[in-house]
Amino acid sequence: MKTAQGIARDVQSGESSATAELENSLSAIGARNEELNIFLYVDEAGARAAALSVDERVAKGENVGPLAGVPIAIKDNMCQTGIPTTCSSKILEGWRPPYNATVIDRLMACGAVPVGKTNLDEFAMGSSTENSAFGPTRNPLDPSRVPGGSSGGSAAAVAANMTPLALGSDTGGSIRQPAALCGLVGMKPSYGLVSRYGLIAFASSLDQIGPLSKTVTDAAMLLEAIAGHDPMDSTSLPEPSPSLVAHVNDGVAGKRVALVRELVEGADDDVVASVNRAVAALKDAGATIVELSIPEFRLGLSAYYLIAPAEASSNLARYDGVRFGLRVNGEDVAAMNEATRTAGFGAEVKRRIMLGTYALSAGYFDAYYGQALKVRTQMIDAFKRAYQQADLLIGATTPSVAFAFGSKTSDPMAMYLSDVFTIPTNLAGEAAVSVPFGTGEAGLPVGVQLLGPGRSEAQLFAAARVLELAEGRP
């Protein structure tokens, strides 16, 4: 499949058309969606109308925008007017949002063509897309394995050549981990860089929308299109979208890159070998390599599994059978609320709501949630100290390559450990990218993670591009 950059160029020049590119995308979806369960909804009519309007504007000589005619997949936790938005939960079945998420408006303003909504772990809680109420998504590279999660459908859409771009959301690793397992580039931007308006909230202090793509330049193009201040999100950073594409070839000469011991600890040998080779490639490109230990990273998982469920228990209180989607009747309002939530939420979501409610309850607040917030502050300080010694950090994205279906479903802790290397970035509100580098067990892709301070996206893409070139990718 062509890159987003290639499609936009060809559509704008008249060499191709948005309509033709969309039809390619729709036939790729038609060919494998039943097998892989990637799209929960394909908006054929809406996408065709959007593509036609791009073609009409090109015919009139207009400059349509940097993503002219590029088909894009949208994780099904982002609102699009009139399009079913489920969060892969039965509780939202049938609900159609009356407004667009800011990211959707921005994509359309750049000429992109949203083709449909992709599967995820229910309410983005999970690391394998096995928690979806609508069945799991399969990894296109090996359908006996998971694509990762929670943005597993978005990652699989790109890996299966259905769309060159996809949007995911990352609360504890949900863009980077599936990117790693599907052989893609995936970035978690700095907190506040991308508007969360219209992203259905999981843990509001951690959630960020970001890009998934096959190439670094495509990811940079997509992030540039969606980033920048939005008055509709009070946590949105006050500045315009940064210049990213212009810097992808800046390289790493003179940069200090720290290999972090805790970001490879416990990872499989094939993963560690790829990280070591990536370090060598950055060194060859002129970076100075140091080694660091950041022991606070070991506390990330425990703090995250108090903070994220605590916020989720509050955010998910709104699904009460009154305002959205499903309603199961009961004798009185309380019974209706209970019956609706019992029938509408899956096991993992219920587990998180119970964990979060417990952590926040009077008498336990100081012991759990309060402690977790202190750890979060320590994490922020630890990153600050690390960035005095290095410009960027490097480690693994995930402990292993894509794993088999069912191998972690009966043990929540084993599943939670999939995000042990990605969670610290979310807690600190900083940026990180996963870039495919080499292969491991069964020839499956390995993701290497590059981490940087807030607003370091341009530097991260430049370093990721060095690795892409070192792998011989154009």
Residues with active-site annotation: 75, 150, 174
DSSP assignment, residue 369? I
- When CB distances to ligand GLN are compared, the closest residue is 174
**Least distance from C-beta 335 to ligand GLN, angstroms?**
30
**Least distance from C-beta 38 to ligand GLN, angstroms?**
18
| CA 98 – CA 101 distance, rounded (Å) | 10
| CA 295 – CA 261 distance, rounded (Å) | 9
Nearer CB in complex with ligand GLN: 77/102: 77
71-75 and 165-170 beta bridge pairing? parallel
**Least distance from C-beta 218 to ligand GLN, angstroms?**
21
Nearer CB in complex with ligand GLN: 76/419: 419
**Least distance from C-beta 51 to ligand GLN, angstroms?**
30
39-42 and 113-118 beta bridge pairing? antiparallel
Nearer CB in complex with ligand GLN: 12/418: 418
Binding site for ligand GLN (CB under 6 A): 124-127, 150, 170-174, 202, 308, 419
What stretch of H or E contains 447? strand 445-452
- Report the chain's terminal Cα–Cα distance, integer Å: 14
| CA 190 – CA 193 distance, rounded (Å) | 6
**Least distance from C-beta 458 to ligand GLN, angstroms?**
23
- The beta-strand segments (E) located in 240-297 are 256-260, 288-292
Cβ contacts of 77-81, under 8 Å, gap ≥ 24: 77/120, 77/123, 77/124, 77/169, 77/199, 77/200, 77/202, 78/103, 78/104, 78/167, 78/169, 78/198, 78/199, 78/200, 78/209, 79/104, 79/198, 79/199, 79/200, 80/43, 80/104, 80/114, 80/117
113-118 and 71-75 beta bridge pairing? parallel
Nearer CB in complex with ligand GLN: 261/351: 351
Radius of gyration of the chain (CA): 21
Nearer CB in complex with ligand GLN: 85/171: 171
**Least distance from C-beta 411 to ligand GLN, angstroms?**
14
Nearer CB in complex with ligand GLN: 333/347: 347
Before 150, cis peptide (omega within 30)? yes
